[in-house]
A = this chain, B = another copy of it.
Amino acid sequence: MSKGEATKRQILNIAVKLASMQGINGLTIGDLAKKVGMSKSGLFAHFGAKDRLQLKVLEMAAQKFVELVMRPAFQEPVGEARIRALFTNWLKYIEGTDELPGGSVLIAASIELDDQPGELRDFVKNAQWELIHNIEKAIQLAIEVEDFRPDLKVREFAFSLYSFVLGYHHFRRMLESPDAKQLIEKSFEGLMIFARNKNR
């Protein structure tokens, strides 16, 4: 990695952190310049206009999600174990890390951008569909190794799982519900009981 690229990556990391708290629309070149100790024109030289920076931030957020949630889950054996790993990693991600103190940039961006057509919205939509398709693949494999029922509807399972994660995000982050974690864990175990192959 060249020095220029390393600097760019460092700035992007800070920008992703800011976006996780202020949203992708709330991210301003001015705030970012202050945080990284650079002039606005210096930032502009690295990224161009604001929408270029926003797109880069969304790309990095999607990449972080793959690294923290998807990749480690796909290293687990196929079947229920992989679905459980995916779930556990996803919760940790929602709870926020040092890198992403404000939780999921992509969930927030989904809400911010849903009425805002353009390249940013298209990127988030595609990234979310890719995530869903990967979850569906993991569910399909769990059916194939006979952990899950052969008649399980893959898309319906993915919808329920995704919904519970959004519910957890809401109950934990906005409602500050002290039982948020128990609630999603109970819902997830219910989903497992529903999905499991009873003939095994």
A residues with CB within 8 A of B: 21-23, 25-26, 101-103, 107-108, 110-115, 121, 124-125, 128-129, 132, 153, 155-156, 159-160, 162-164, 166-168, 170-171, 173-176, 179, 183-184, 186-187, 190, 194
Select from chain B the residue with minimum beta-carbon distance to A173.
B114
- Give chain B residues whose Cβ lies under 8 Å from the Cβ of A153: 186
Minimum CB–CB distance from A35 to chain B (whole Å) comes to 15
Whether B175 pairs with A115 at a CB distance below 8 angstroms is no
Minimum CB–CB distance from A182 to chain B (whole Å) comes to 9
Select from chain B the residue with minimum beta-carbon distance to A114.
B173
Whether A174 pairs with B124 at a CB distance below 8 angstroms is yes
Whether B25 pairs with A174 at a CB distance below 8 angstroms is no
- Give chain B residues whose Cβ lies under 8 Å from the Cβ of A114: 102-103, 173-174
**Which of B25, B108, B163, B173 contacts A164 (CB under 8 A)?**
B163
A-B pairs, 5 with minimum CB distance: A163-B167, A166-B166, A110-B174, A114-B173, A159-B183
Minimum CB–CB distance from A105 to chain B (whole Å) comes to 11
**Contacts A163-B164, A166-B166 given; does A111 touch B107 at CB 8 Å:** yes
Minimum CB–CB distance from A17 to chain B (whole Å) comes to 11
- In Å, the complex CA distance between A114 and B132 comes to 25
Whether A102 pairs with B125 at a CB distance below 8 angstroms is no
